[in-house]
Chains A and B, each alone.
Chain A
């Protein structure tokens, strides 16, 4: 069996993340390291587009394992997250076997693993790979509060109880990363089961470093100009939506694709939609704020 790649310290996490082109600071390194070592879920909160989901992807690559993703949305229920019985197949089996088997044996048969459709949480528990998978529960704040209750047994004991089959325990405890944009407060019960990490907007220096790593060919001075402009946009207190790192990266890539090497008013105005993604903010920018932001040091 292949050896599980060991992570033996915060520095090792930072090194491996850097190898995957993720510029992490020590707080991220510490949270990921402790989560892996202690086998506890990691709850990552922060502004949209600041690299929360990317942590799970990078961790997957760093551990050379598989990523199982559960995207949360309103109305998410047990059928979509844990398991579902293959009802059409069950009905067909009932029709075919009803004359040959007694009802008790038939019931046992149709509620066996063969008729089970595994959803992400059960997939993570029964994962057969050589290493524990990374389970990403993305944007949990989009799901209902009832869904958090559903997660509690899973996160504390890494087991799922199926009434017809009994309790299924994890073969290998998955590395769980839960992300939230903080559009609502999560329950204390859920938070208690997790280690906590908050990712805010990056400093100017960190944003420049991210740009240099993620957008190949971007000159240092141009990266500084882009990061400086985005930082000034973020500092505007009347904007509805502030740009995250993902917006900065998209904008830089677009500017590179256009062959631009220096920010000027025309090119910024033409590509403003990459940075400012709210109609009201765009209007504010076009009514004089853009000149002020470009003119600011």
Chain B
């Protein structure tokens, strides 16, 4: 590898080409990061490959996943000469042959290795990483407007039940601790005369949701409806984190933010891991506990969207869910088959999970106005004992 002289204009062009190459591969390296990289390279000896790579990592990568992928991209780019002006053409043949371990890829549709097709039913099918990769097959095609409105109304109803607790932030109030800044400002408006005190008290915290979404093959027929539900959670409950799982757990919150439902559906279809390989709910919940356990506290509501089909490690599922139930305020399980009045928890996973679930719902409960009526909720509650820490979570819907 010969990265060249730093003052050589062709080296600057190649460095800019490297930043563009990274963007094509899904990195968030903008112009600022490229400038940082150029500035960093002025401080070190770029003749040493490892030093050069380390400086690129520090300035261009922004997550551990990007660190791993940057090493691969670095080798790919700097081991061959690529004309900056013709980079896209050359990049198309230099796509990596296999998916990186983290599973994250570019949302850029022109990125090498991405093959996007929309079938007659509107299903978006995306081949990942390589032209030879199988289709992910995730059916996140948009639902009609009427159903979306109904689902959002249902999520608003659930939001009222989601836990809230007093926060650290304060708001003006008629009584409570004295608000000295407001009192001082008020007295200044009165010419310095201290006429009355102002008070403030803690504001209620917003509801916090953690959504664990099963995207394994057994959920294929329900994926479009559940994606609409996931998107509504993210859109209507400000503090929502969404994780997709099948055999591995990935956070997908970033796919849902700042874009419309239709665009989010398309992005999700492209980014979710390909189906197949079964479901490992227990190990995925353990992984969630280990990596994101701190998200759960007495104010968090955990929503699991799954049919409970598991590959047999149900003891691990039971143990992990018991732990989750203990940590958070409320565990809601949405089973796509629970809408059927004849539904019974037939799968082993579902039977193991139910003792640790506070509320079992079907997707249809979000679409009907009576889905959250107190008598329906009482009937949907698998346990007769109170919720965690004895809280009564089913409040009448006003």
B50 to chain A, nearest CB (A): 7
Contact of A34 among B43, B241, B253, B323 (CB under 8 A): B43
Residue of B nearest to A144 (CB): B169
Smallest distance from the beta carbon of B290 to chain A beta carbons, Å?
A: 5
On whether A280 and B323 interact (CB within 8 A), knowing A94-B192, A185-B254, A240-B290, the answer reads yes
| Chain B residues with CB below 8 A from A45, complex form | 63-64
Interface mask (B15-47 → A, CB under 8 Å = 1, otherwise 0):
000000000000010101100100110011000
**CB < 8 Å neighbour of A27 from B36, B54, B194:** B54
Chain B interface: which of A82-90, A211-219, A251-259? A82-90
Is A75 among interface residues, defined by CB-CB distance under 8 A? Answer: yes
Task: State which of A30, A97, A200 has its C-beta within 8 Å of the C-beta of B58.
Answer: A30
B51 near A30 with CB under 8 A, answer: yes
Give the contacting residue for B294; candidates A91, A183, A191; CB below 8 A.
A183
Size class of B's contact patch?
35 or more
B62 at the binding interface (Cβ < 8 Å): yes
Contact with B along A121-163 (1 / 0, CB 8 A): 0000000000000000000000000000000000000000000
Q: Are B184 and A87 in contact (CB under 8 A)?
A: yes
B145, CB-defined interface residue at 8 Å: no
Given A94-B184, A195-B36: A74 and B168 interface contact (C-beta under 8 Å): yes
Query: Assuming A184-B295, A195-B36, A280-B319, what are 13 further A-B pairs, CB within 8 angstroms?
Result: A34-B59, A38-B40, A75-B168, A85-B184, A87-B181, A191-B28, A192-B28, A192-B30, A195-B40, A196-B62, A198-B67, A237-B286, A240-B323
10 A/B residue pairs, CB under 8 Å, sorted by A: A10-B44, A31-B58, A34-B58, A38-B43, A45-B63, A75-B169, A91-B184, A98-B192, A198-B67, A237-B283
Contacts from B to A (Cβ < 8 Å): 28, 30, 32-33, 36, 39-40, 43-44, 50-51, 54-55, 57-59, 61-64, 67, 167-169, 180-181, 183-184, 187-188, 191-194, 241, 251, 253-254, 283, 286, 289-295, 316, 319, 323
A interface, CB within 8 angstroms of B? 10, 26-27, 30-31, 33-34, 37-38, 40, 45, 74-75, 77, 85, 87-88, 90-91, 94-95, 97-98, 103, 106-107, 110, 181-185, 188, 191-192, 195-198, 200, 237-242, 280
Q: Which 6 A-B pairs have the closest CB atoms?
A: A75-B168, A87-B180, A98-B192, A30-B54, A198-B64, A183-B294
